[in-house]
Amino acid sequence: MTVLVLVVDDEEDVEVLFRQQFRRDLRAQRFAMDFAGSAAQALTRIADTGEQTLILILSDINMPGMNGLDMLPEVRARRPDVPVIMITAYGDAETRRTALARGAKGLLTKPIDFGQLRQVIESRLGQAA
């Protein structure tokens, strides 16, 4: 069984950054990472994960078109079994409240603490095993 982490962000350099941070895990096939450049792409992707088991969604909040906060209720309705962690450059209390009220399991602020994110992924891997 291949487990999948989906990262949703409209910035192209995010994929390079995440692949670099988790290169050992990806190379060892501990989990796979997929990337969606918009909320619409993410909603399509979560509908069909194929042979992979989706264990976590990481989503930016500020994106053109549907933003991450608007996408969140859609994701929760379609995949209530998969936790969503929002990522934002603006970690103010109102954004945090809104994200949690719409179903996010947490909020990470940029620049991302990859040590903290690694702990979240490890926890999800343990639950998926």
Euclidean distance between CA atoms 52 and 50, whole angstroms: 5
Q: Dihedrals φ, ψ of 107, to 5°?
A: -140, 125
Euclidean distance between CA atoms 92 and 2, whole angstroms: 35
What is the reported pTM? 0.95
Q: How far is CA 6 from CA 35, 75, 106, 123, in A?
A: 6, 12, 15, 16
Mean pLDDT of the chain: 94
- At 32-62, the pLDDT tens digits run 999 999 999 999 999 988 889 999 999 999 9
